[in-house]
Chains A and B, each alone.
Chain A
């Protein structure tokens, strides 16, 4: 069935360093890949997303890359700050012109130390 694997499960970095989180997906028909950030006591919040017709997307300190052939995609956070500390989830979806279910990875707990 559809599955998304996410690594690492925990990541600890020093403030200012870069952080990279990687995901692989099983459904080759997946064509939409969002990343969510979840802070304590809150629901997941979308931080960046990418469609399968694009290989890379950037938004300030955050970037996502997609390798369709290998079926994996990654989140890159540069110049990390303590407020980046949270749980990050990748997800994959097969967009079908309307509703779409998200298949989530298990999450990565990122800790940024001052």
Chain B
């Protein structure tokens, strides 16, 4: 069964450093999302992406964040200058055209900013 994959599974970085989190959505999907979950808190929407542009973003998704689909298979989230409060689990999700409401989630990347 097709699934969303994410790399790396864990990332430790120093405050102020740039990180790129990578996702490979399900191959025929067209809608892509990033969510994050700070430890002990809710899963929060960050951004949705369709047709090579951001379709919606949350207040969390400030100028330090960017997303890109550099090729036909990868979807990335970049944090330009990480802060301590960016430490969280980051989930990528994708959905198809026919049943677009169903989002399939990847296993997540645990980011720790020191």
A-to-B contact residues, CB < 8 Å: 32, 34, 36, 41-46, 49, 51, 89, 93, 95, 98-107
Contact = CB atoms under 8 A, between A and B. Distances in A.
Contacts, number: 63
Nearest to B43: A104
Contact size range, B: 20 to 34
A43 B44 contact: no
Most buried by A among B93, B95, B103, B108: B103
Contacts of A102: 35, 43, 45, 103
A106 B31 CA distance: 24
Most B Cβ at <10 Å: residue of A43, A95, A98, A104: A43
Interface string B74-114: 00000000000000000101010000111111111000000
Contact of A101 (B45, B50, B106, B108): B45
Contacts of A34: 101-103
Nearest to A1: B59
Given A42-B107, A44-B91, A46-B103, 5 more contacts: A34-B102, A43-B105, A43-B108, A44-B43, A46-B102
B55 interface: yes
